[in-house]
Amino acid sequence: MKTLSIYQVDAFSKALFGGNPAAVCPLEEWLPDDLMQKIALENNLSETAFVVGNEGRYHIRWFTPGTEVMLCGHATLATSYVIRHMLGDDSSKLVFDSLSGELSVRFKEEQIELDFPKANLQQGELSHEVANQLPFKPLDVMRSRDDLLIIAPDEQTIIDLNPDFTGLEKGIVRGVCISAKCNRPGTDFVSRWFGGPEVAIQEDPVTGSAHTMLVPYWASKLDQTKLVAEQISERRGRLNCELQNDRVLIAGYVALYLKGEIYIS
């Protein structure tokens, strides 16, 4: 019987039961892909991160219950916390090799800051399947490599939404992100992110990777490079963001929920 350590961390939240929970499995060597996918499905969280490496340099992979993904912010935040506080790597900067290239993470007092590539945005179009689930007329529609970005009239419109895009045709989008300018002091924009069929989750509580397109979009609209974002799912999460040329910095807090072991025969 082989045992693997597993941690569950609430990312983009100072307190437990907020933000986005991610599972983290540190490995000495890679497991078979189908086994990692089964572990992610068994965990039934939006993401399970697997990581191999040491002394500041790591290789990271992310799995939803349904598929491996190219980029995940909250699980990278959670993994960075585990590497420093549970595995004892006190490097001031961590470097991750991933399907999205090299990613770096820095520790800034109590927050952890992700350094991710900016998403390329282009004007998008709504399919009938997506449009039929929206009780509002979008102010704008954009498209990145992974996601569809829809701009809603206001925050309350987004709060009231309950769409399910998991039944869309496969291969169209990873997910649908719906965002609006925020009029509350201290927050620049809000969003919610709903998964498509491959990821097998209806809604992701706080989606770091979606902010690689949200930050450039709102930086342009609001004419500012530093932005405070809130993802207004039921669990909610706050992200302190900055656009630096072709990179997006995304910082947040984390809270450790559990440490355990997986038994694999």
* pLDDT over 70 percentage in the chain: 100
- Judged against a pLDDT cut of 90, whether residue 47 lies above it is answered with yes
Is 113 among the residues known to form the active site? no
Structure tokens at 8: 């569950």
Burial class (CB in 10 A: 0-12, 13-18, 19+), 242: middle
Query: Do 129 and 238 reside in the same domain of the chain?
Result: yes
Angle at 108 between CA 11 and CA 211, to 5 degrees: 50
pLDDT classification of 169: cutoffs 50, 70, 90: confident
Name which of 70, 78, 74, 113 is nearest 226 in CA terms: 113
pLDDT classification of 174: cutoffs 50, 70, 90: confident
Query: Do 177 and 189 reside in the same domain of the chain?
Result: yes
Query: Do 110 and 7 reside in the same domain of the chain?
Result: yes
Predicted local distance difference test score (pLDDT) of residue 257: 98
Query: Do 103 and 142 reside in the same domain of the chain?
Result: no
Structural domain containing residue 193: 122-245
Q: In the predicted model, what is the mean pLDDT of residues 115-127?
A: 94
Among residues 29, 42, 47, 125, the one annotated as catalytic is: 47
Q: In the predicted model, what is the mean pLDDT of residues 185-205?
A: 94
pLDDT single digits (tens) 24-42: 999 999 999 999 999 999 9
Q: In the predicted model, what is the mean pLDDT of residues 150-170?
A: 94
Name which of 22, 207, 12 is nearest 112 in CA terms: 12
Query: Do 82 and 20 reside in the same domain of the chain?
Result: yes
Query: Do 78 and 182 reside in the same domain of the chain?
Result: no
pLDDT single digits (tens) 135-149: 999 999 999 988 999
Angle at 129 between CA 150 and CA 41, to 5 degrees: 85
pLDDT classification of 173: cutoffs 50, 70, 90: confident
11: domain CATH number is 3.10.310.10
pLDDT classification of 258: cutoffs 50, 70, 90: very high
Q: What mean pLDDT is reported for the chain?
A: 95
**pLDDT: is 173 or 36 the higher one?**
36
Query: Structure pTM?
Result: 0.93
Predicted local distance difference test score (pLDDT) of residue 200: 82
